[in-house]
Structure 1
Amino acid sequence: MKNLCILLFSSLLIVSCSSSVSKNTNDKRLLTEEINTIYNQKKFNGFAVSIVDEKGTLYENGFGLSDVENNKKYTAETIQNIGSVSKTFVGIALLKAQELGKLKLDDSIDKYLSFKVVNSKFTDAKITIRELATHTSSITDNEFYSSKNYYLKSNQNLTGLKMSFDDDQTFNPSDSIVSMKSFFENVLTKNGKWNKDSFSAHKPGTIYEYSNVGTTLAAYIIEQATGQPFKEFTKKYILEPLKMKDSGWKFEDIDFSKFSRLYENPTTPLPYYELITYPDGGFITNVNDLSKYLTELIKGYNGNGTILTKESYVEYFKPQLSESNFRERNTKNPYNESYNVGIFMGFGYTGYIGHTGGDPGTMSMMFFDPKTNLGRIMIFNTNFSDKEGNKAFFDIWNAMENIRVN
């Protein structure tokens, strides 16, 4: 679903980019006023934004409501899941595990799995970790990714809430959750009961095909290689060094009182949920913490990072693919991160580096411009599917680009 959400608002981007009414300004107060004006169109219930550079956060603010029913404000401290921006953490974790000597990107995934993952159309082709990290593994997201992956947070009031999203995503009972390993055995192995259309018709290593399941398999391999749960590994090597104190992967890891209600649209609240495949889109954070992370990424791009070596950051940000790896390349949308890819890090055709995210009730963007070292983040608690919502979304994004901050 994360990829479908991204494609939806990406397909409308041309309209919004060409119609932004933002004006250059050097006043943060005027930026806040401009964003408030856009918010007052009531296309979203709540969101937060930030602008960062290599030195830190230049601007951050929250707008609207995190809980409409209880009139609770959405602030820079409000937390929620951020969709596929989460994948960038998997890339950092892979390279940290490689630094520690626990794995190599060009290892076959067979080395770390107790079950067999093979594309039946290419039985002699070994899938590598690098192919997972560049979405060229031939592993696809089948119908069971949406129907079996999302499950409800336990002990919540479900009165009046929908048990599905966008018709094809089901929120399953909390007691029906299976382990990540069981999910993979059902989806990816020859005799798995959910293995329909789990692989594409392309040989592993040849064609870019965005894969949430492949992303999570990479995180599972980190667990097998290091002997640590993925969430604990990332806490030790990413969150704690960057002082991301309000962030985590599970409800038990965060202060739930700060968590935003999520909305299918401004009038339809959704239940609280988690994912079996949480590494592909379930990172919980706020704009304050995510700004620290983006500042670190900009530092790393420029050779000054702190959580990976210079060599690892070079690999992380190195475009891994060529024209032949794409069936079709998007050269119209500057914020489609699939023009090329690093190690779970995306590149737009204009050179912007980062990722987008979408999930039930979640829309997010995180990019920086390597020419200016300025980065932007937006995190929304409301989905949209119309041109007006798309325009408002990118008017906010463009307003942040146009401001001149010191």
Structure 2
Amino acid sequence: MGLRIFTILLLMVSFLGTAQKNAKDSLDLKLQQIYQQGSFNGFSVAVVNEKGILYENGIGWADVNLKRPYTSKTIQNIGSVSKTLVGIALLKAQELGRLKLDDPINQYLPFRVDNPNHPETPITIRHLASHTSTITDNGYYLQKNYILKPQQNLAGLVLELEDEQRLNPTDSVISMETYLKNVLTAQGKWYQKADFLTNKPGEIFEYSNVATALAAYVLERATGQPFNEFTKKYILKPLKMKASGWKFSEVDFSKYSRLYLSPEKGLPHYSLITYPDGNFITSAHDLGLYLNELIKGYNGHGKILSKESYREYFNPSLGAVHFVKRNEKNPYSDEYNIGVFIGFSYTGNIGHTGGDPGVASMLFFNPKTNIGRLLMVNTNINDKKGNDAFYGIWNALEQFQTQL
């Protein structure tokens, strides 16, 4: 009897192993077919559950001219998916007793930030984290915030971006504190009263990169540590995200992908002055480790925050009253509801999207299945074909995720 059961178990394990291999091979093929459509030069993906990374892959080129392959270990900046780490960091600082989310931000700042339309209503850290601070992104965010990496060869690369967005010379860099003072204080040279909503803080959702950077700066003032060092200590090291960081000096630049305005047009390397809102540099592998932690945290098994902190992180804080127009169409829009810099779609998926010059990214998990997906692309999405390819990749991951 025992021998029969053992034989059956061996056959089941063999069958499952074969099924998983077939699913992986089929997914590999599907991703290659989408890549051959020519919308992106390179991308990487991962499928993750509470136990770990089920699948990771990189397709195409990290550098077309040098014929350097894009792999799951290739690194690049990921845009606004970075904001989810700001939320984790704020809750860790709260755990450490250095701040409280409902504290007024002026309790920590060396300069005052008030909505000039409602100076009597304090802006709190929670307002920043839920995008209800009434702080908006003015044109200077696109014009002044993107800085060229020093000592790079710019020959043949695109230096002029569309609309108001600019890549600024290396010597124009300023500190995040100086930038925030310039745009948020009445004495600042880029300050405009119109860049604050007429609503009171806490009333209306208005997505804000500047508010995210301000939240990270508040954390710096509260903890006495630079934001990048704080997150390295409390997020990256515990999760063994060894390839990741916020600045070029913190990563192995030989593994950094070239970014592309289109498949034919390469971009120079750049960074953001307000780096916490969108300049996290990582790989699909490292981001998979992070997504695994988020899924664990949602289910009460996370290791970098307490159960109580994760409950607050994942607590949807807004209602219909907070939205002028609520996104109820895209199942992977992060602007239907929000916790602490973590988004919820109308279907209940939890995560965030990201975009910057040459960057498109998505990271979401389904709390019902505890399966998550992530996608990082090194080429702008410029048209319907590119958009269809992006979501084609995303849907292919979903198609095979349960078989992996």
Q: Give 1:71's match in structure 2, choosing from 53, 67, 74.
A: 67
Q: Give 2:217's match in structure 1, choosing from 220, 239, 253.
A: 220
**Equivalent position amino acid for 2:322 in 1:** N
Match of 1:358 in 2: 355
Decide which structure has the larger Cα Rg and report it.
Answer: 2
- Give the match's secondary structure for 2:187: coil
Question: How far apart are the structure 1 equivalents of 2:144 and 2:158?
Answer: 16
Question: How far apart are the structure 2 equivalents of 1:162 and 1:200?
Answer: 35
Q: Is the 8 A contact 1:58 1:405 kept in 2?
A: no
- Give the match's secondary structure for 1:36: helix
Match of 1:278 in 2: 275
- Give the match's secondary structure for 1:30: helix
Match of 2:13 in 1: none
Q: Give 2:235's match in structure 1, choosing from 213, 238, 241.
A: 238
Q: Is the 8 A contact 1:25 1:31 kept in 2?
A: no
Match of 1:188 in 2: 184
Question: How far apart are the structure 1 equivalents of 2:370 and 2:87?
Answer: 21
Aligned pairs (5 A) from 1:169-318? 169-196=165-192, 197-318=194-315
Match of 1:87 in 2: 83
**Equivalent position amino acid for 1:67 in 2:** D
1:72-111 C-alpha deviation (Å, 9 max, x unpaired): 1000010000000000000000000000000000000000
**Equivalent position amino acid for 2:184 in 1:** L
Give 1:160 deviation, angstroms. 2.3
Moved more, 194-203 or 103-112: 194-203
Match of 1:405 in 2: 403
Give 1:26 deviation, angstroms. 5.6
Match of 1:14 in 2: none
**Equivalent position amino acid for 1:344 in 2:** F
Give 1:202 deviation, angstroms. 1.6
- Give the match's secondary structure for 1:304: coil
Aligned pairs (5 A) from 1:303-342? 303-342=300-339
Q: Is the 8 A contact 1:25 1:402 kept in 2?
A: no
- Give the match's secondary structure for 2:195: coil
Q: Is the 8 A contact 1:53 1:373 kept in 2?
A: yes
Give 1:167 deviation, angstroms. 2.8
Q: Is the 8 A contact 1:119 1:138 kept in 2?
A: yes
Give 1:25 deviation, angstroms. 10
- Give the match's secondary structure for 1:225: helix
Match of 1:369 in 2: 366
Aligned pairs (5 A) from 1:96-111? 96-111=92-107
Q: Is the 8 A contact 1:369 1:375 kept in 2?
A: yes
Match of 1:18 in 2: none
Match of 1:13 in 2: none
Question: How far apart are the structure 1 equivalents of 2:185 and 2:163?
Answer: 27
**Equivalent position amino acid for 1:183 in 2:** Y
Question: How far apart are the structure 2 equivalents of 1:405 and 1:382?
Answer: 29
**Equivalent position amino acid for 1:202 in 2:** N
Question: How far apart are the structure 2 equivalents of 1:164 and 1:309?
Answer: 46
* Residue 35 (str. 1) matches residue 31 (str. 2): yes
Change over 3 Å in CA distance of 1:25–1:240 after alignment to 2: closer
Give 1:384 deviation, angstroms. 1.2
Question: How far apart are the structure 1 equivalents of 2:161 and 2:379?
Answer: 12
Question: How far apart are the structure 2 equivalents of 1:123 and 1:302?
Answer: 40
Q: Is the 8 A contact 1:78 1:286 kept in 2?
A: yes
- Give the match's secondary structure for 2:59: strand
Aligned pairs (5 A) from 1:378-393? 378-393=375-390
Question: How far apart are the structure 2 equivalents of 1:344 and 1:117?
Answer: 20
Alignment length (residue pairs): 383
Structure 1, unmatched stretches of 5+, are: 1-23
**Equivalent position amino acid for 2:138 in 1:** N
Change over 3 Å in CA distance of 1:25–1:387 after alignment to 2: farther
1:247-295 C-alpha deviation (Å, 9 max, x unpaired): 0000000000000000011011001000000000000000000000000
Q: Give 2:120's match in structure 1, choosing from 121, 124, 139.
A: 124
Question: How far apart are the structure 2 equivalents of 1:57 and 1:83?
Answer: 22
- Give the match's secondary structure for 1:165: coil
**Equivalent position amino acid for 2:342 in 1:** M
Give 1:405 deviation, angstroms. 2.8
Give 1:198 deviation, angstroms. 2.5
**Equivalent position amino acid for 2:102 in 1:** D
1:348-401 C-alpha deviation (Å, 9 max, x unpaired): 000000000000000000000000000000000001121111111111111110
Question: How far apart are the structure 1 equivalents of 2:160 and 2:331?
Answer: 32
**Equivalent position amino acid for 1:389 in 2:** G
Question: How far apart are the structure 2 equivalents of 1:257 and 1:25?
Answer: 31
Q: Give 2:162's match in structure 1, choosing from 163, 166, 188.
A: 166
- Give the match's secondary structure for 2:391: helix
Match of 1:51 in 2: 47
**Equivalent position amino acid for 1:405 in 2:** Q
- Give the match's secondary structure for 1:52: strand
Q: Is the 8 A contact 1:238 1:307 kept in 2?
A: yes
Question: How far apart are the structure 2 equivalents of 1:26 and 1:345?
Answer: 34
